[in-house]
Amino acid sequence: MATINGKDIQKLVVACDAGMGSSVMLASTLRKQLGKSGVTVEHTPVNSIPADADLVICHNGLAARARSIAPGKPIVPFQVFLGDPAVTKVVKAIQQGTDINV
């Protein structure tokens, strides 16, 4: 298991299968929650994860594909699009400058 510190995250990417729907809402919610932190939040299809992403958040069903497309990038899988504890931990780690285990 790897660790990344929240203060080292400048670009967070929400990766999804098709690029619509719930993952767009999650990206929007994260932008609002992290607005004061200076973190850029982007939304992208899992097959197009940008090379400059510091952290990728995606649904658990897409995590293996995300890892194969962006090897070496920290991937945080979640189960529920809104209110998932894994996403909450990421937000708190960014806001507080603490570690995230991925």
Distance of CA 75 to the CA centre of its chain: 7
- Is 16 among the residues known to form the active site? yes
Q: Exactly one of 14, 16, 41, 70 is catalytic; which is it? A: 16
Contacts of 89 (CB under 8 A, 6+ apart): 100
Structure-token pair, residue 102: 């991925």
Residue at token pair 């909450």: 88
- List, by residue number, the catalytic residues: 16
